[in-house]
Structure 1
Amino acid sequence: MRAWRINWQAIADKNRALAPQLLEQNMRRLRFAAPWIPPINLMHIWLFWQRQPESANEALWRQGILVAHGAMFVFFGALALLAWYLERRPERVRLRQLCVSAAIVGTLGFATAISAIDQLITSNITPLLVGCTLVALIFLHRPFSALWLFSLTLALFLFGLQQTQGDPIVLLSNQVNGLSACSIGLLLAWLQWRNFIQIYTQKQRLQAQALLLEEQNQKLSYLAEHDPLSGLLNRRAFNTIVERELLRYKRTRQPLCLLLLDLDYFKAINDRFGHPLGDAVIKRVASLLSSQVRSLDSLARLGGEEFMLLLSDCDREQGLQIAEKLRELMETQLREVDGKAVALTVSIGISYLDAGQSSTYESLYAASDRALYSAKQEGRNRVKVAAPN
Protein backbone atom coordinates (compact mmCIF):
# COMPACT_ATOMS: atom_id res chain seq x y z
CA MET A 1 0.00 0.00 0.00
CA ARG A 2 2.89 2.35 0.72
CA ALA A 3 3.92 2.27 -2.96
CA TRP A 4 0.63 3.96 -3.87
CA ARG A 5 0.87 6.76 -1.33
CA ILE A 6 1.35 10.25 -2.77
CA ASN A 7 3.96 12.46 -1.16
CA TRP A 8 1.96 15.69 -1.19
CA GLN A 9 4.67 17.58 0.67
CA ALA A 10 7.23 16.71 -2.00
CA ILE A 11 4.81 17.85 -4.71
CA ALA A 12 4.17 21.13 -2.86
CA ASP A 13 7.90 21.73 -2.39
CA LYS A 14 8.53 21.08 -6.07
CA ASN A 15 5.73 23.45 -7.07
CA ARG A 16 7.22 26.18 -4.89
CA ALA A 17 10.66 25.60 -6.38
CA LEU A 18 9.33 25.80 -9.92
CA ALA A 19 6.97 28.74 -9.34
CA PRO A 20 9.42 31.51 -10.37
CA GLN A 21 10.46 29.71 -13.57
CA LEU A 22 6.84 28.84 -14.37
CA LEU A 23 5.69 32.44 -13.92
CA GLU A 24 8.55 33.83 -16.01
CA GLN A 25 7.85 31.36 -18.83
CA ASN A 26 4.15 32.20 -18.85
CA MET A 27 4.83 35.94 -18.78
CA ARG A 28 7.23 35.62 -21.69
CA ARG A 29 4.65 33.67 -23.69
CA LEU A 30 1.90 36.12 -22.79
CA ARG A 31 4.02 39.05 -23.95
CA PHE A 32 4.43 37.30 -27.29
CA ALA A 33 0.85 36.07 -27.77
CA ALA A 34 -1.34 38.86 -26.35
CA PRO A 35 -0.60 41.49 -29.08
CA TRP A 36 -1.77 39.05 -31.77
CA ILE A 37 -5.30 38.66 -30.43
CA PRO A 38 -6.72 42.21 -30.88
CA PRO A 39 -5.99 42.30 -34.66
CA ILE A 40 -7.78 38.94 -35.03
CA ASN A 41 -10.73 40.33 -33.07
CA LEU A 42 -10.86 43.38 -35.34
CA MET A 43 -10.91 41.15 -38.39
CA HIS A 44 -13.86 39.16 -36.98
CA ILE A 45 -15.70 42.35 -36.03
CA TRP A 46 -15.20 43.76 -39.52
CA LEU A 47 -16.37 40.54 -41.23
CA PHE A 48 -19.47 40.11 -39.08
CA TRP A 49 -20.28 43.82 -39.28
CA GLN A 50 -20.50 43.52 -43.05
CA ARG A 51 -23.05 40.72 -42.90
CA GLN A 52 -26.70 41.67 -42.70
CA PRO A 53 -28.83 39.21 -40.69
CA GLU A 54 -31.71 37.45 -42.42
CA SER A 55 -33.56 36.32 -39.32
CA ALA A 56 -34.06 37.20 -35.68
CA ASN A 57 -31.88 34.26 -34.63
CA GLU A 58 -29.12 35.32 -36.97
CA ALA A 59 -29.37 38.91 -35.71
CA LEU A 60 -29.02 37.69 -32.14
CA TRP A 61 -26.10 35.48 -33.16
CA ARG A 62 -24.38 38.36 -35.00
CA GLN A 63 -24.88 40.69 -32.08
CA GLY A 64 -23.45 38.13 -29.63
CA ILE A 65 -20.39 37.55 -31.83
CA LEU A 66 -19.75 41.28 -32.19
CA VAL A 67 -20.07 41.86 -28.45
CA ALA A 68 -17.82 38.88 -27.62
CA HIS A 69 -15.06 39.93 -30.04
CA GLY A 70 -15.36 43.55 -28.98
CA ALA A 71 -14.89 42.52 -25.36
CA MET A 72 -11.95 40.31 -26.36
CA PHE A 73 -10.38 43.22 -28.25
CA VAL A 74 -10.50 45.47 -25.19
CA PHE A 75 -9.51 42.69 -22.79
CA PHE A 76 -6.46 41.43 -24.69
CA GLY A 77 -5.43 44.94 -25.69
CA ALA A 78 -5.27 45.81 -21.99
CA LEU A 79 -3.44 42.54 -21.25
CA ALA A 80 -0.85 43.25 -23.96
CA LEU A 81 -0.17 46.69 -22.44
CA LEU A 82 -0.01 45.25 -18.93
CA ALA A 83 2.38 42.49 -20.04
CA TRP A 84 4.60 45.11 -21.67
CA TYR A 85 4.52 47.17 -18.46
CA LEU A 86 5.46 44.14 -16.32
CA GLU A 87 8.27 43.03 -18.63
CA ARG A 88 10.93 44.94 -16.66
CA ARG A 89 9.25 44.62 -13.27
CA PRO A 90 9.90 41.08 -12.04
CA GLU A 91 9.29 42.16 -8.46
CA ARG A 92 5.56 42.60 -9.18
CA VAL A 93 4.91 38.89 -8.66
CA ARG A 94 1.25 39.12 -7.62
CA LEU A 95 0.33 41.34 -10.55
CA ARG A 96 2.18 39.04 -12.95
CA GLN A 97 0.33 36.01 -11.61
CA LEU A 98 -2.99 37.83 -11.92
CA CYS A 99 -2.15 38.85 -15.50
CA VAL A 100 -1.38 35.25 -16.56
CA SER A 101 -4.45 33.85 -14.79
CA ALA A 102 -6.68 36.47 -16.42
CA ALA A 103 -5.30 35.59 -19.86
CA ILE A 104 -5.97 31.87 -19.35
CA VAL A 105 -9.44 32.23 -17.84
CA GLY A 106 -10.37 34.95 -20.32
CA THR A 107 -9.34 32.89 -23.35
CA LEU A 108 -11.31 29.84 -22.24
CA GLY A 109 -14.26 31.97 -21.17
CA PHE A 110 -14.46 33.72 -24.54
CA ALA A 111 -14.03 30.42 -26.41
CA THR A 112 -16.87 28.88 -24.40
CA ALA A 113 -19.13 31.91 -24.88
CA ILE A 114 -18.59 32.09 -28.65
CA SER A 115 -19.16 28.34 -29.04
CA ALA A 116 -22.44 28.68 -27.10
CA ILE A 117 -23.49 31.70 -29.19
CA ASP A 118 -22.75 29.79 -32.39
CA GLN A 119 -25.37 27.23 -31.42
CA LEU A 120 -28.07 29.79 -32.28
CA ILE A 121 -27.58 29.06 -35.99
CA THR A 122 -24.96 26.28 -36.27
CA SER A 123 -23.59 23.24 -34.45
CA ASN A 124 -20.00 24.52 -34.66
CA ILE A 125 -17.82 24.31 -31.52
CA THR A 126 -14.52 25.11 -33.24
CA PRO A 127 -13.89 28.15 -30.95
CA LEU A 128 -13.87 25.86 -27.91
CA LEU A 129 -11.37 23.48 -29.56
CA VAL A 130 -9.17 26.40 -30.64
CA GLY A 131 -9.33 28.02 -27.19
CA CYS A 132 -8.45 24.80 -25.35
CA THR A 133 -5.57 24.10 -27.75
CA LEU A 134 -4.15 27.62 -27.53
CA VAL A 135 -4.32 27.74 -23.74
CA ALA A 136 -2.66 24.31 -23.50
CA LEU A 137 0.12 25.14 -25.98
CA ILE A 138 0.85 28.76 -25.06
CA PHE A 139 0.78 28.53 -21.27
CA LEU A 140 2.31 26.09 -18.80
CA HIS A 141 -0.04 24.51 -16.26
CA ARG A 142 0.63 22.30 -13.29
CA PRO A 143 -1.16 18.95 -13.75
CA PHE A 144 -3.83 19.44 -11.05
CA SER A 145 -4.39 23.05 -12.09
CA ALA A 146 -4.89 21.93 -15.69
CA LEU A 147 -7.38 19.26 -14.58
CA TRP A 148 -9.48 21.78 -12.66
CA LEU A 149 -9.20 24.38 -15.40
CA PHE A 150 -10.41 22.20 -18.26
CA SER A 151 -13.03 20.49 -16.08
CA LEU A 152 -14.49 23.90 -15.22
CA THR A 153 -14.33 24.90 -18.90
CA LEU A 154 -16.26 21.78 -19.86
CA ALA A 155 -18.88 22.45 -17.19
CA LEU A 156 -19.37 26.04 -18.39
CA PHE A 157 -19.57 24.90 -22.00
CA LEU A 158 -22.20 22.27 -21.22
CA PHE A 159 -24.22 24.85 -19.30
CA GLY A 160 -24.06 27.36 -22.14
CA LEU A 161 -24.87 24.66 -24.67
CA GLN A 162 -28.06 23.85 -22.80
CA GLN A 163 -29.17 27.47 -23.12
CA THR A 164 -28.65 27.89 -26.89
CA GLN A 165 -28.88 24.47 -28.58
CA GLY A 166 -32.43 23.09 -28.82
CA ASP A 167 -31.84 20.06 -31.06
CA PRO A 168 -31.35 17.00 -28.78
CA ILE A 169 -29.22 15.13 -31.35
CA VAL A 170 -26.94 18.11 -32.00
CA LEU A 171 -26.84 18.79 -28.26
CA LEU A 172 -25.61 15.26 -27.53
CA SER A 173 -23.07 15.41 -30.37
CA ASN A 174 -21.68 18.73 -29.17
CA GLN A 175 -21.55 17.56 -25.58
CA VAL A 176 -19.35 14.67 -26.69
CA ASN A 177 -17.29 16.97 -28.93
CA GLY A 178 -16.90 19.47 -26.09
CA LEU A 179 -15.65 16.69 -23.83
CA SER A 180 -13.16 15.71 -26.54
CA ALA A 181 -11.97 19.32 -27.00
CA CYS A 182 -11.38 19.79 -23.26
CA SER A 183 -9.68 16.38 -23.03
CA ILE A 184 -7.36 17.33 -25.90
CA GLY A 185 -6.52 20.57 -24.11
CA LEU A 186 -5.82 18.69 -20.88
CA LEU A 187 -3.61 16.14 -22.65
CA LEU A 188 -1.63 18.87 -24.41
CA ALA A 189 -1.23 20.76 -21.14
CA TRP A 190 0.12 17.66 -19.42
CA LEU A 191 2.55 17.00 -22.29
CA GLN A 192 3.72 20.61 -22.13
CA TRP A 193 4.25 20.31 -18.39
CA ARG A 194 6.17 17.06 -18.81
CA ASN A 195 8.46 18.65 -21.40
CA PHE A 196 8.97 21.66 -19.14
CA ILE A 197 9.94 19.43 -16.21
CA GLN A 198 12.34 17.42 -18.37
CA ILE A 199 13.99 20.55 -19.75
CA TYR A 200 14.16 22.15 -16.31
CA THR A 201 15.63 18.99 -14.76
CA GLN A 202 18.19 18.68 -17.53
CA LYS A 203 19.10 22.36 -17.15
CA GLN A 204 19.55 21.91 -13.40
CA ARG A 205 21.72 18.85 -14.02
CA LEU A 206 23.85 20.74 -16.55
CA GLN A 207 24.21 23.68 -14.16
CA ALA A 208 25.27 21.32 -11.37
CA GLN A 209 27.79 19.65 -13.68
CA ALA A 210 29.11 23.04 -14.82
CA LEU A 211 29.45 24.14 -11.18
CA LEU A 212 31.24 20.91 -10.29
CA LEU A 213 33.54 21.33 -13.30
CA GLU A 214 34.30 24.91 -12.27
CA GLU A 215 35.09 23.79 -8.73
CA GLN A 216 37.37 21.05 -10.04
CA ASN A 217 39.10 23.52 -12.35
CA GLN A 218 39.61 25.88 -9.43
CA LYS A 219 41.07 23.03 -7.37
CA LEU A 220 43.37 22.02 -10.23
CA SER A 221 44.41 25.62 -10.71
CA TYR A 222 45.11 25.92 -6.99
CA LEU A 223 47.10 22.67 -6.92
CA ALA A 224 49.08 23.81 -9.97
CA GLU A 225 50.26 26.89 -8.06
CA HIS A 226 50.36 25.76 -4.42
CA ASP A 227 52.23 23.26 -2.33
CA PRO A 228 49.68 20.69 -1.11
CA LEU A 229 51.22 20.24 2.34
CA SER A 230 51.82 23.83 3.43
CA GLY A 231 49.27 25.63 1.24
CA LEU A 232 51.98 28.10 0.18
CA LEU A 233 52.93 28.94 -3.39
CA ASN A 234 55.05 26.33 -5.13
CA ARG A 235 58.31 27.03 -6.95
CA ARG A 236 56.74 27.49 -10.39
CA ALA A 237 54.15 30.04 -9.23
CA PHE A 238 56.76 31.84 -7.11
CA ASN A 239 59.17 32.08 -10.05
CA THR A 240 56.44 33.75 -12.11
CA ILE A 241 55.81 36.31 -9.37
CA VAL A 242 59.50 37.11 -8.99
CA GLU A 243 59.90 37.65 -12.75
CA ARG A 244 56.91 40.00 -12.67
CA GLU A 245 58.32 41.90 -9.69
CA LEU A 246 61.67 42.29 -11.43
CA LEU A 247 59.92 43.84 -14.43
CA ARG A 248 58.13 46.21 -12.04
CA TYR A 249 61.48 47.00 -10.40
CA LYS A 250 62.90 48.10 -13.74
CA ARG A 251 60.06 50.63 -14.04
CA THR A 252 59.78 51.89 -10.47
CA ARG A 253 63.29 51.22 -9.06
CA GLN A 254 61.69 50.26 -5.77
CA PRO A 255 64.07 48.01 -3.74
CA LEU A 256 63.33 44.38 -3.01
CA CYS A 257 64.82 41.50 -1.03
CA LEU A 258 64.82 37.76 -1.63
CA LEU A 259 65.02 35.54 1.47
CA LEU A 260 65.90 31.86 1.36
CA LEU A 261 64.99 30.04 4.59
CA ASP A 262 66.11 26.53 5.55
CA LEU A 263 65.21 24.65 8.74
CA ASP A 264 68.27 23.49 10.64
CA TYR A 265 68.70 19.74 11.18
CA PHE A 266 65.22 19.00 9.88
CA LYS A 267 66.23 15.53 8.69
CA ALA A 268 66.89 14.59 12.30
CA ILE A 269 63.25 15.38 13.12
CA ASN A 270 62.03 12.94 10.49
CA ASP A 271 64.51 10.30 11.60
CA ARG A 272 63.67 10.69 15.29
CA PHE A 273 59.92 11.35 15.33
CA GLY A 274 58.80 10.17 11.90
CA HIS A 275 57.49 11.95 8.81
CA PRO A 276 54.01 12.77 10.23
CA LEU A 277 55.63 15.09 12.79
CA GLY A 278 57.88 16.43 10.06
CA ASP A 279 54.77 17.34 8.07
CA ALA A 280 53.30 19.01 11.15
CA VAL A 281 56.48 21.07 11.50
CA ILE A 282 56.28 22.19 7.87
CA LYS A 283 52.65 23.27 8.36
CA ARG A 284 53.57 25.13 11.56
CA VAL A 285 56.43 26.96 9.84
CA ALA A 286 54.16 27.90 6.91
CA SER A 287 51.57 29.25 9.33
CA LEU A 288 54.14 31.28 11.28
CA LEU A 289 55.67 32.77 8.14
CA SER A 290 52.26 33.57 6.63
CA SER A 291 51.28 35.45 9.79
CA GLN A 292 54.28 37.77 9.44
CA VAL A 293 54.40 38.64 5.74
CA ARG A 294 52.69 41.68 4.25
CA SER A 295 49.98 41.52 1.60
CA LEU A 296 52.43 42.73 -1.07
CA ASP A 297 55.01 40.05 -0.22
CA SER A 298 55.14 36.54 -1.70
CA LEU A 299 55.91 33.37 0.23
CA ALA A 300 56.61 29.91 -1.19
CA ARG A 301 57.79 26.48 -0.18
CA LEU A 302 60.49 25.33 -2.55
CA GLY A 303 60.41 21.75 -1.30
CA GLY A 304 61.58 19.80 1.71
CA GLU A 305 62.44 22.24 4.50
CA GLU A 306 63.23 25.20 2.20
CA PHE A 307 61.10 28.34 1.96
CA MET A 308 61.50 31.53 -0.02
CA LEU A 309 60.16 35.00 0.68
CA LEU A 310 60.10 37.97 -1.70
CA LEU A 311 59.87 41.33 0.06
CA SER A 312 58.67 44.07 -2.28
CA ASP A 313 59.53 47.74 -1.62
CA CYS A 314 62.06 46.61 0.97
CA ASP A 315 65.73 47.65 1.09
CA ARG A 316 68.70 45.77 2.55
CA GLU A 317 68.38 47.08 6.10
CA GLN A 318 64.65 46.46 6.25
CA GLY A 319 65.18 42.96 4.86
CA LEU A 320 67.73 42.21 7.56
CA GLN A 321 65.34 43.37 10.28
CA ILE A 322 62.51 41.22 8.92
CA ALA A 323 64.79 38.20 8.52
CA GLU A 324 66.09 38.53 12.08
CA LYS A 325 62.54 38.82 13.37
CA LEU A 326 61.58 35.63 11.51
CA ARG A 327 64.64 33.81 12.83
CA GLU A 328 63.78 34.74 16.42
CA LEU A 329 60.15 33.74 15.84
CA MET A 330 61.16 30.29 14.65
CA GLU A 331 63.57 29.81 17.52
CA THR A 332 60.91 30.59 20.12
CA GLN A 333 57.86 29.03 18.46
CA LEU A 334 59.43 25.77 17.24
CA ARG A 335 60.68 24.51 20.56
CA GLU A 336 57.72 22.15 20.73
CA VAL A 337 55.35 20.84 18.04
CA ASP A 338 52.44 18.49 18.78
CA GLY A 339 53.84 17.85 22.25
CA LYS A 340 57.28 16.86 20.94
CA ALA A 341 60.40 18.80 21.89
CA VAL A 342 61.92 19.57 18.48
CA ALA A 343 63.86 22.79 19.28
CA LEU A 344 64.15 23.76 15.62
CA THR A 345 65.89 26.85 14.29
CA VAL A 346 66.20 28.39 10.85
CA SER A 347 69.05 29.75 8.76
CA ILE A 348 68.30 32.60 6.36
CA GLY A 349 70.14 33.89 3.33
CA ILE A 350 69.29 37.30 1.86
CA SER A 351 69.97 38.92 -1.47
CA TYR A 352 68.73 42.39 -2.39
CA LEU A 353 68.30 44.94 -5.14
CA ASP A 354 68.59 48.58 -4.19
CA ALA A 355 67.65 51.48 -6.43
CA GLY A 356 69.99 51.75 -9.40
CA GLN A 357 71.09 48.12 -9.38
CA SER A 358 70.16 45.56 -12.00
CA SER A 359 70.07 41.80 -11.82
CA THR A 360 68.24 38.66 -12.87
CA TYR A 361 66.23 36.19 -10.85
CA GLU A 362 68.99 33.63 -11.31
CA SER A 363 71.54 36.03 -9.82
CA LEU A 364 69.29 36.90 -6.91
CA TYR A 365 68.59 33.26 -6.16
CA ALA A 366 72.26 32.36 -6.40
CA ALA A 367 73.16 35.18 -4.00
CA SER A 368 70.51 34.07 -1.48
CA ASP A 369 71.81 30.52 -1.77
CA ARG A 370 75.39 31.69 -1.13
CA ALA A 371 74.25 33.65 1.89
CA LEU A 372 72.30 30.65 3.22
CA TYR A 373 75.34 28.39 2.74
CA SER A 374 77.41 30.92 4.67
CA ALA A 375 74.85 30.91 7.50
CA LYS A 376 75.00 27.12 7.65
CA GLN A 377 78.81 27.11 7.64
CA GLU A 378 79.00 29.63 10.47
CA GLY A 379 76.87 27.54 12.81
CA ARG A 380 73.25 27.85 11.61
CA ASN A 381 70.40 29.78 13.28
CA ARG A 382 71.61 33.05 11.80
CA VAL A 383 70.98 35.54 8.98
CA LYS A 384 73.55 36.29 6.26
CA VAL A 385 73.45 38.70 3.32
CA ALA A 386 74.96 38.51 -0.15
CA ALA A 387 74.71 40.93 -3.05
CA PRO A 388 73.84 39.51 -6.50
CA ASN A 389 76.60 39.45 -9.10
Structure 2
Amino acid sequence: MELLAVTDTLTGLANRRQFDAYLDREMAHSRRHKNSFCLLMIDADHFKRVNDQFGHRRGDEVLAHLAQTIEGSLRAEDCAFRVGGEEFAVLLRDAGEISGLGAAERLLAAVRRDPFRSGNDVHDLTVSIGVSALTPRAEVSRELLVARADAALYAAKGGGRDRASVDFSTLSERIASV
Protein backbone atom coordinates (compact mmCIF):
# COMPACT_ATOMS: atom_id res chain seq x y z
CA MET A 1 0.00 0.00 0.00
CA GLU A 2 2.85 2.37 0.85
CA LEU A 3 4.44 1.77 -2.57
CA LEU A 4 1.18 2.80 -4.27
CA ALA A 5 1.22 6.08 -2.34
CA VAL A 6 4.53 7.10 -3.92
CA THR A 7 4.26 5.45 -7.35
CA ASP A 8 2.44 6.66 -10.44
CA THR A 9 0.29 3.67 -11.39
CA LEU A 10 0.28 4.48 -15.12
CA THR A 11 4.03 4.78 -15.65
CA GLY A 12 5.54 2.96 -12.68
CA LEU A 13 7.69 6.01 -11.93
CA ALA A 14 7.75 7.74 -8.58
CA ASN A 15 4.94 10.31 -8.33
CA ARG A 16 4.77 14.03 -7.46
CA ARG A 17 4.54 13.35 -3.74
CA GLN A 18 7.72 11.27 -3.88
CA PHE A 19 9.38 13.92 -6.08
CA ASP A 20 8.78 16.63 -3.47
CA ALA A 21 10.15 14.46 -0.65
CA TYR A 22 13.14 13.26 -2.69
CA LEU A 23 13.98 16.77 -3.86
CA ASP A 24 14.05 18.02 -0.26
CA ARG A 25 16.37 15.15 0.73
CA GLU A 26 18.60 15.71 -2.30
CA MET A 27 18.89 19.43 -1.58
CA ALA A 28 19.91 18.73 2.02
CA HIS A 29 22.40 16.07 0.85
CA SER A 30 23.85 18.45 -1.74
CA ARG A 31 24.40 21.20 0.82
CA ARG A 32 25.80 18.83 3.45
CA HIS A 33 28.27 17.18 1.05
CA LYS A 34 28.93 20.32 -1.01
CA ASN A 35 28.08 18.83 -4.37
CA SER A 36 25.78 19.92 -7.17
CA PHE A 37 22.74 18.27 -8.63
CA CYS A 38 20.55 19.06 -11.56
CA LEU A 39 16.80 19.10 -12.10
CA LEU A 40 15.30 18.38 -15.51
CA MET A 41 11.64 19.24 -16.09
CA ILE A 42 10.36 17.36 -19.15
CA ASP A 43 7.12 17.88 -21.05
CA ALA A 44 5.78 15.77 -23.93
CA ASP A 45 5.39 18.01 -26.99
CA HIS A 46 1.94 18.27 -28.59
CA PHE A 47 0.56 15.59 -26.28
CA LYS A 48 -2.97 17.00 -26.47
CA ARG A 49 -3.01 16.04 -30.16
CA VAL A 50 -2.40 12.39 -29.27
CA ASN A 51 -5.31 12.39 -26.82
CA ASP A 52 -7.60 14.28 -29.21
CA GLN A 53 -6.74 12.20 -32.26
CA PHE A 54 -6.35 8.71 -30.77
CA GLY A 55 -8.09 8.85 -27.38
CA HIS A 56 -6.99 8.83 -23.78
CA ARG A 57 -6.12 5.13 -23.74
CA ARG A 58 -3.54 5.65 -26.48
CA GLY A 59 -2.35 8.78 -24.68
CA ASP A 60 -1.79 6.72 -21.54
CA GLU A 61 0.18 4.16 -23.55
CA VAL A 62 2.34 6.95 -24.97
CA LEU A 63 3.03 8.29 -21.46
CA ALA A 64 4.03 4.83 -20.23
CA HIS A 65 6.33 4.48 -23.26
CA LEU A 66 7.91 7.90 -22.62
CA ALA A 67 8.47 6.98 -18.97
CA GLN A 68 10.33 3.83 -20.03
CA THR A 69 12.44 5.80 -22.50
CA ILE A 70 13.29 8.43 -19.88
CA GLU A 71 14.15 5.88 -17.21
CA GLY A 72 16.18 3.81 -19.66
CA SER A 73 18.39 6.76 -20.55
CA LEU A 74 19.43 7.60 -16.98
CA ARG A 75 22.39 6.60 -14.87
CA ALA A 76 21.74 4.27 -11.93
CA GLU A 77 22.07 7.13 -9.43
CA ASP A 78 19.51 9.37 -11.19
CA CYS A 79 15.76 9.35 -10.48
CA ALA A 80 12.76 9.91 -12.76
CA PHE A 81 9.30 11.03 -11.64
CA ARG A 82 5.94 11.67 -13.24
CA VAL A 83 4.91 15.00 -11.73
CA GLY A 84 1.77 15.80 -13.71
CA GLY A 85 -0.26 14.99 -16.82
CA GLU A 86 2.45 14.76 -19.47
CA GLU A 87 5.19 16.25 -17.31
CA PHE A 88 8.15 14.36 -15.89
CA ALA A 89 11.09 15.36 -13.70
CA VAL A 90 14.57 13.90 -13.42
CA LEU A 91 17.10 14.49 -10.66
CA LEU A 92 20.73 14.08 -11.71
CA ARG A 93 23.20 13.61 -8.87
CA ASP A 94 26.62 15.26 -9.03
CA ALA A 95 25.67 17.31 -12.09
CA GLY A 96 25.85 21.00 -12.86
CA GLU A 97 24.30 23.00 -15.67
CA ILE A 98 26.64 21.76 -18.41
CA SER A 99 26.44 18.06 -17.54
CA GLY A 100 22.69 18.51 -17.04
CA LEU A 101 22.42 19.91 -20.54
CA GLY A 102 24.41 16.94 -21.86
CA ALA A 103 22.02 14.53 -20.12
CA ALA A 104 19.06 16.46 -21.54
CA GLU A 105 20.49 16.25 -25.07
CA ARG A 106 20.98 12.48 -24.67
CA LEU A 107 17.41 12.18 -23.45
CA LEU A 108 16.10 14.18 -26.42
CA ALA A 109 17.98 11.85 -28.78
CA ALA A 110 16.65 8.74 -26.98
CA VAL A 111 13.05 9.96 -27.33
CA ARG A 112 13.57 10.75 -31.04
CA ARG A 113 15.07 7.28 -31.64
CA ASP A 114 12.25 5.45 -29.90
CA PRO A 115 8.86 6.22 -31.48
CA PHE A 116 5.72 4.77 -29.94
CA ARG A 117 4.35 1.81 -31.88
CA SER A 118 0.86 0.36 -31.61
CA GLY A 119 -0.16 -2.14 -34.26
CA ASN A 120 0.58 -0.48 -37.61
CA ASP A 121 0.65 3.01 -36.09
CA VAL A 122 3.94 4.75 -35.37
CA HIS A 123 3.99 7.99 -33.38
CA ASP A 124 7.20 10.02 -33.48
CA LEU A 125 7.61 11.66 -30.10
CA THR A 126 9.50 14.70 -28.91
CA VAL A 127 9.90 16.37 -25.55
CA SER A 128 11.01 19.76 -24.32
CA ILE A 129 13.33 19.96 -21.32
CA GLY A 130 14.16 22.67 -18.80
CA VAL A 131 17.43 22.34 -16.88
CA SER A 132 18.26 23.96 -13.54
CA ALA A 133 21.08 23.18 -11.12
CA LEU A 134 21.62 23.53 -7.42
CA THR A 135 25.18 24.21 -6.39
CA PRO A 136 26.58 24.05 -2.84
CA ARG A 137 26.83 27.83 -2.48
CA ALA A 138 23.44 28.66 -3.98
CA GLU A 139 20.82 29.72 -1.46
CA VAL A 140 17.86 28.44 -3.44
CA SER A 141 14.59 27.03 -2.15
CA ARG A 142 12.94 23.95 -3.63
CA GLU A 143 10.22 26.19 -5.06
CA LEU A 144 12.75 28.48 -6.76
CA LEU A 145 14.74 25.57 -8.19
CA VAL A 146 11.55 24.07 -9.68
CA ALA A 147 10.40 27.49 -10.92
CA ARG A 148 13.74 28.02 -12.68
CA ALA A 149 13.55 24.58 -14.33
CA ASP A 150 9.95 25.30 -15.36
CA ALA A 151 10.97 28.67 -16.83
CA ALA A 152 13.72 26.94 -18.81
CA LEU A 153 11.17 24.33 -19.96
CA TYR A 154 8.85 27.05 -21.25
CA ALA A 155 11.81 28.70 -23.00
CA ALA A 156 12.48 25.37 -24.75
CA LYS A 157 8.83 25.13 -25.79
CA GLY A 158 8.84 28.76 -26.92
CA GLY A 159 12.03 28.14 -28.90
CA GLY A 160 10.33 25.54 -31.07
CA ARG A 161 10.03 22.43 -28.86
CA ASP A 162 12.13 19.25 -29.16
CA ARG A 163 14.99 20.98 -27.38
CA ALA A 164 16.50 21.70 -23.99
CA SER A 165 16.98 25.07 -22.37
CA VAL A 166 19.17 25.80 -19.35
CA ASP A 167 18.61 28.21 -16.49
CA PHE A 168 22.08 29.68 -15.93
CA SER A 169 21.12 31.92 -13.00
CA THR A 170 23.01 29.80 -10.45
CA LEU A 171 26.09 29.98 -12.68
CA SER A 172 25.68 33.76 -12.88
CA GLU A 173 25.31 33.90 -9.08
CA ARG A 174 28.52 31.89 -8.63
CA ILE A 175 30.43 34.19 -11.00
CA ALA A 176 29.10 37.27 -9.21
CA SER A 177 30.19 35.92 -5.82
CA VAL A 178 33.82 35.42 -6.90
What is the TM-score when the length of structure 2 is the normalising length? 0.90
Match for 2:87 among 306, 309, 314?
306
Once residues 148 and 169 of structure 2 are traced to their aligned partners in structure 1, the CA distance between those partners, rounded to angstroms, is 5
Which of these two proteins has the greater Rg computed from alpha carbons? 1
CA contact (8 A) 1:367 1:387 kept: no
Residue 262 of structure 1 corresponds to which residue in structure 2? 43
Q: Report how far residue 222 of structure 1 moved.
A: 1.0
CA contact (8 A) 1:232 1:301 kept: yes
CA contact (8 A) 2:38 2:131 kept: yes
Asked if residue 349 in structure 1 is aligned to residue 130 in structure 2, the reply is yes
Residue 224 of structure 1 corresponds to which residue in structure 2? 5
SS of aligned partner of 1:254: coil
Once residues 75 and 105 of structure 2 are traced to their aligned partners in structure 1, the CA distance between those partners, rounded to angstroms, is 16
Matches within 5 A, 1:79-158: none
SS of aligned partner of 2:3: helix
Name whichever structure is richer in helix by fraction: 1
Residue 289 of structure 1 corresponds to which residue in structure 2? 70
Once residues 358 and 295 of structure 1 are traced to their aligned partners in structure 2, the CA distance between those partners, rounded to angstroms, is 28
Once residues 273 and 287 of structure 1 are traced to their aligned partners in structure 2, the CA distance between those partners, rounded to angstroms, is 20
Matches within 5 A, 1:101-250: 220-250=1-31
Residue 106 of structure 2 corresponds to which residue in structure 1? 325
Once residues 294 and 373 of structure 1 are traced to their aligned partners in structure 2, the CA distance between those partners, rounded to angstroms, is 25
CA contact (8 A) 1:264 1:344 kept: yes
Match for 2:117 among 337, 346, 358?
337
Percent identity at matched positions? Answer: 39
Q: What is the RMSD of the two structures over their aligned residues, measured on CA atoms?
A: 1.3
Q: Report how far residue 388 of structure 1 moved.
A: 5.3
Match for 1:360 among 138, 141, 155?
141
Residue 174 of structure 2 corresponds to which residue in structure 1? none
- Aligned letter for 2:35? Q
CA contact (8 A) 2:30 2:135 kept: no
Gaps of 5+ in 1: 1-219
Cα distance per residue 1:231-257 (max 9 Å; x no partner): 100001111011001111111111110
What is the TM-score when the length of structure 1 is the normalising length? 0.42
- Aligned letter for 2:85? G
Q: Report how far residue 269 of structure 1 moved.
A: 0.5
Once residues 333 and 291 of structure 1 are traced to their aligned partners in structure 2, the CA distance between those partners, rounded to angstroms, is 11
- Aligned letter for 1:337? R
- Aligned letter for 2:110? L
Once residues 24 and 12 of structure 2 are traced to their aligned partners in structure 1, the CA distance between those partners, rounded to angstroms, is 21
SS of aligned partner of 1:269: helix
Name the structure, 1 or 2, with higher relative contact order (CA <8 Å, separation 6+): 2
CA contact (8 A) 2:44 2:126 kept: yes
CA contact (8 A) 2:41 2:149 kept: yes
Once residues 3 and 49 of structure 2 are traced to their aligned partners in structure 1, the CA distance between those partners, rounded to angstroms, is 31
Residue 164 of structure 2 corresponds to which residue in structure 1? 383
Gaps of 5+ in 2: 171-178
SS of aligned partner of 2:49: helix
Once residues 343 and 292 of structure 1 are traced to their aligned partners in structure 2, the CA distance between those partners, rounded to angstroms, is 17
After the TM superposition, which segments of 4 or more aligned residues of structure 1 sit over 3 Å from their partners? none
Match for 1:371 among 143, 152, 160?
152
CA contact (8 A) 1:359 1:388 kept: no
Matches within 5 A, 1:30-109: none
